[in-house]
Structure 1
Amino acid sequence: MDNNKRPENMERITTAALAEKFIQEQVKEIQNQVGDKKVLLALSGGVDSSVVAALLIRAVGQQLVCVHVNHGLLRKGEPEQVVEVFRNQMKANLIYVDAVDRFLDKLQGVAEPEQKRKIIGAEFIRVFEEEARKQEGIEFLAQGTIYPDILESGPVKAHHNVGGLPEDLQFELVEPLRLLYKDEVRVVGDALGLPAGMVYRQPFPGPGLGVRCLGAITRDRLEAVRESDAILREEFAKNGLEGKVWQYFTLIPDFKSVGVRDNKRADEWPVIIRAVNTKDAMTATVEDVPFALLQHITNRIVNEVKGVNRVCYDLTPKPTGTIEWE
């Protein structure tokens, strides 16, 4: 039997009772797999890794070592938020690693999306290996792999949770969510008692803003992605779209367009806004954002984000366009 293939008779987790049944099964599986060894978890603060963390805490408690890697590709304010929620509020055993320069140096000049994903994924594992050497008894690496990651690996795009792991990987993988769709993960997160703001936080790709700063990443363009994304999230929250729209973000391509600023020609980047709704991430529809709000967001971005002179709205559903551009 293929452990990465969801059984046809597996019931969709839609209720607290079904979630609790799943949790109990996974706790037993994790305990049997891990024994008295330690588990290293890549804790990004997204819903998938947060649910894995809660499951592992319930199953093996202090045997879990959470590592939060700041690779410079997170959204504005996220590293600080992860430390606050997990270390200060959830009392997790959290190690914070500042690896910004390390990741961005490795990615310098790399334009091909799959190569970027694999560099980021491989470097993540290297960081964890280094942290593991500082610990005693770590034999397992927990990951927030979910079923769409497995389905899309290969024919569509490489996911850092599935493809691109180094050949010298020294950990056995623990992937308790690998057969669940995103909506099921949220139901399980609710049942585990995680804060609503964490459970319903919009999805974020493993490579982070690295796949939203299209082409070869530069620090100035990456910062423009981060700042424009923060404006979009702030305005969606103010206007009642936070929680209503499944995923929304900005991205910046690796080219400039001609514009006018202060009565002079200005060659600057365009920002592309993506806002979609989906149940399971396999198909997606585009959110009908009020035009006046789009105009307001555009005005803020072109005036507040350095190096941006144009804003576009992506109207493409999935299929044909995947949710992310890379």
Structure 2
Amino acid sequence: MMSSIESEKILILDFGSQYTQLIARKIRELNVYCEIIPFNTSIRKIEDQKPKGIILSGGPSSVYAVNAPHPEPEIFNLGIPVLGICYGLQIIAHFLNGKVGKAERREYGRSEFFIDNSKDLFSELNSKIQVWMSHGDHLLKIPESFSVIGHTENAPIAAIADFNRRIYGLQFHPEVVHTPDGKKILKNFVYKICGCSGKWTTEAFINESVKKIKETVGSQKVICGLSGGVDSAVTAGLIRKAVGDQLIPVFVDNGVLRKNEASQVIEAFKSWNLHFVDASEQFLKDLHGVTDPEKKRKAIGKRFIEVFEKEAREFGKIDFLAQGTLYP
């Protein structure tokens, strides 16, 4: 059953853009719930979530490249509003019989964008706005039933729309601060086009999350690796709010923390019955003489698992493992 906070949901298909998390943040700042999901999520799973709209993120690839990330083409036949950003725009053109090609020069930076049609997506914006471009490919031909709704000097097709099917594409990035009116554009999409009402809040998310955790965990135990960073701290905080001392937070000092960081984490979470493990000597021994960054990463990861599992066994039967850094 869909929870109340998910009743108006925007799904963001992630094609590997460095800005994907910014899209999610901007949508949530509009008081609309959203989730980031892999670009190849099945149509069935997308339909099951009943999204009010879908955003296709940017990405570093070319739509024509070998092994380029592609969504299932049926995504454009769901009757759900779609907004493609940069690579997402090119995905729209590629799948709907438009044409994408290499630009004469890669465009990166600020650009003046001229609005050719202010209906819906560009409602209540000036006819010329500043936008942020970051692309090597661009549209050479728009799909049938689409219209060009904006351009720049370097990109004659910088924004397109199929108003009847509610499918839109932007060559620029509305989610970044260098596009000052970007949030207005995203607001027009989620409010005017998708029909969201903007009733979601972070408080509602916290309450709903705590409720779900209580229902899932019941009277069982949860162990959580707590580094002191935002992800694990928020995860642990929600779990503790839900089940109290059933949470077992474990902090492992890996020897490569910032100065005084270990003592600060211990002090900050001492009221949570934090379990501290000083494994710094073991980690530093593993890293001695290792210069390759990937080998360092693997060495740290391997040692952490060993240390964490050993600590976990000290608490007997543990029913749940909580992690705050695994986002699809």
- TM-score, length basis structure 1: 0.39
Q: Which has the higher strand share?
A: 2
Q: Which has the higher helix share?
A: 1
Give the number of the structure whose alpha-carbon radius of gyration is greater: 2
| Higher RCO structure, 1 or 2 (CA under 8 Å, sep 6+) | 1
- TM-score, length basis structure 2: 0.39
